[in-house]
Amino acid sequence: MSDTTDMSKTGAEWLIHALEREGVDTLFGYPGGAIMPVYDALVGSSLKHILVRHEQGAALAAVGYARASGKVGVCMATSGPGATNLVTGIADAFMDSVPMVAITGQVPSHLMGTDAFQEVDVFGITLPIVKHSFIVRRAEDICAIVREAFAIALEGRPGPVLIDLPKDVANARAVEKPSTREAKRPLPPKLDAIQKARSLIRESKRPVLYIGGGVGMANAEVAVKRLFDQTRIPAVCTLKGLGSMDPNDRLYMGMLGMHGNPAANFAVQEADLLIVIGARFDDRATGKLDTFAPRAKVIHLDADTAEIDKLRYADVALLGDLNKSLDALAEPTTIADWQTRCQWLKTQHQWRYDAPGEDIYAPLLLKQLSELGGPDMIVSCDVGQHQMWVAQHCSFSHIANHLTSGGLGTMGFGLPAAIGAKLARPQATVACVSGDGSIMMNIQELATLHRYGIAVKIIVLDNAGLGMVRQWQELFFNQRFSEVDLSDNPDFAVLARAFRIPARTIERRDEVLPALTELLNSEGSRLLHVRIDAKSNVWPLVPPGKSNADMIEEKTS
């Protein structure tokens, strides 16, 4: 066999080879003209390609795959509209720090900049929402670029990386130019910072652990639980930190923020020290920032230097390896009075499930779903009222079991992310909780479920409207309801069956347990269409521009 046959491949063939070498087993995409050489090279490879029905579905499925597995998610699309359809998913990955490599076809090099057919400057379009971008100029560089892209996606604060591949480069033959690039390991925290942090903890009377999604990215959940168990410092979680704590522990206060548990919000407001672990003081968590934990000093643990002092001054910053930082702080504390206070707060502000009437009460349904599915069930949800109900009323044993679009708030996230999660962890039960507005954003991916036999259990909470927008218009816009009516929705059960997905509809409370049992025990995918009261609201709610201490709670007669 000649050297040319043995060592030379097309750029597209080197790309597939490089992905295989990175351990990629699954990628999500949609073919087209500029990416066609890569699809030709896919034939006969070890990669499982999932043909989605919209490129946004590919990007969000890659996000779900990455978040459920901890590996890099990979998506692929052609130039022009294929590339632009990936943008929302890339932005979602960027906002939630998800490792992703997005590969886009591009028009031939000599046509770039000429407004050629299906040409867009995807490099420029995505520049603010990626960790790094590559335009491949030579086929021999592709393997090194892929190696670099995966390392960048994973190291430090994870995020998406774009590889734009012109068609002529994909077709060109070359010999590999190898790379040995590896992801950089996080540095250990500085000893003087550790000593200062320990001193602050010893001096504090009312400390709180404030746990964010960075814990999951750093694989630091065991270390966080060890810190919690050794110190017995009361803990709260952000939306993306849910799953890092045992929800039944008497000193776990729940989620803080706009729709958080009042016990969590009150504990943070009374704290004299916040130990912030992989969180970024997001506005939905803090409310009015200058009123947030006003008497608390801050120890901030993070992998990203940019987050330190960005929104809240850190008295001590522990940068780098979260696991080492957490273990260095795991010392017993003497805060009995504060522990008693927090237990009392938790007792006073337990969720109630005794809503009157026969209508289906969404919080109770989601609590029952969580109990029936067990703590190892993965729940992927969309954005809106149901997203907050899931966060409040479902229990998770691991951060990777709660998939939600936090920073970007992407409607249409739930179904494709659930597809990615099920392919990443095929033995897990995966449920998608969506709303009647969100499910229509990527409803076409029901076809993907059927084609590949992917078993996702879908619950559509249907209030015939855009519930969260309607709630805000009711509370803050004098009930001037504008463009929130979705009463002309399709029959979602009939629609699912048109995609050959079994489905049923329920609307009474006594139907819930039998329907959920049937859903979870069924083979393959199934959709449960749940009609709920159009006027149901999510409580509590911190109004915009208000302190977390100023929560509006549901009025009871």
Active site residues: 55, 117-118, 167, 468
CA dist 378 and 368 (Å) reads 15
Question: CB of 515 within 8 A of CB of 506?
Answer: yes
Encoding tokens for residue 521? 């025990």
- Which residues, 6 or more positions from 405, have their beta carbon under 8 angstroms from its beta carbon? 92, 96, 382, 383, 387, 413, 417
Q: Report H helices in 55-160.
A: 55-69, 81-95, 122-126, 142-154
CA dist 56 and 65 (Å) reads 14
Among 422, 468, 460, residue whose Cα is nearest residue 441? 460
CA dist 543 and 472 (Å) reads 9
Torsion on CA atoms 329, 335, 339, 341, rounded to nearest 10: -140
> Could you write out the DSSP letters of every residue in 435-467?
ETTGGGGSGGGHHHHHHHT---EEEEEE-SB-H
CA dist 490 and 503 (Å) reads 14
CA dist 19 and 45 (Å) reads 10
CA dist 505 and 515 (Å) reads 9
Question: CB of 314 within 8 A of CB of 299?
Answer: yes
Encoding tokens for residue 100? 């992703």
- For helices 55-69 and 81-95, give the axis angle rounded to 10 degrees: 30
CA dist 59 and 378 (Å) reads 19
Total count of residues recorded for the chain: 557
Question: CB of 188 within 8 A of CB of 255?
Answer: no
Encoding tokens for residue 91? 């932005």
CA dist 537 and 374 (Å) reads 26
Give the phi and the psi of residue 452 in degrees, each rounded to 5: -100, 5
CA dist 113 and 275 (Å) reads 50
What DSSP designation does 27 have? E
Q: What distance lies between CA 530 and its chain's CA centroid?
A: 24
Question: CB of 22 within 8 A of CB of 146?
Answer: yes
CA dist 503 and 514 (Å) reads 14
Peptide bond into 540 cis (omega under 30): yes
Question: CB of 433 within 8 A of CB of 390?
Answer: yes
